[in-house]
Amino acid sequence: MDITPGLPATDNFQHWPPWRPLVVETARRVRDYTGGTLVMPMTVLVEQYWREISAGLAQHAIPVRHFVLHADQDTLRGRIEGDALLGPSPFRLKYLEPYTEAARTWLRGEAEVVDTTHLTPAQAAPQIAEAVRS
C-alpha cells in the first residue's frame, strides 16, 4: 500500500513512531472483537519500543504473558538460511546480533524464556500452552 506523502526512510518499520501505538490499538480491537486469548508473535528488540507496547496494553487492561522463543545464534542462522517458506532473509539475519544483545541485557528479564534450540515448533507450542494454562 502506498502512503502519500511517503514515510521517512528506515531500515526497520518498528522505528516509525506510529507503529507501537498501532500494535496496541490493533490488539485492543481484535481482542474486543474476538474475546479470549490473543497470541501476537513478534520480535521487539528495542527495549523502549517494548515498554511503549506493554504500557499501552496495560492501559487497556490487556494481560500479557510475554514469551521469548530463544535459540543460539548458530541455530537461528541455520533456521533463517534454511527457511523453506520465506527463504533466506538478509533482514532477519541482520538482527542476530541485536537479538543476542537484547537477550543479554533486558529481554530475558521481561519474558519467560523457552529455549527452542533443540525443539521443533510442534514441540515448543505445547510447552508454551502448558505454561499459559498453569
> Distance (Å, rounded) from C-alpha 9 to C-alpha 16?
9
Q: What is the pLDDT of residues 17-39, one digit of tens each?
A: 999 999 999 999 999 999 988 88
Q: Residues 79-88: pLDDT tens digits?
A: 999 999 999 9
For the segment 55-89, what is each residue's pLDDT rounded down to a tens digit? 999 999 999 999 999 999 999 999 999 999 999 99
Give the torsion sign (CA, 116, 117, 119, 122): positive
pTM over 0.85: yes
Predicted local confidence at residue 37, as pLDDT:
86
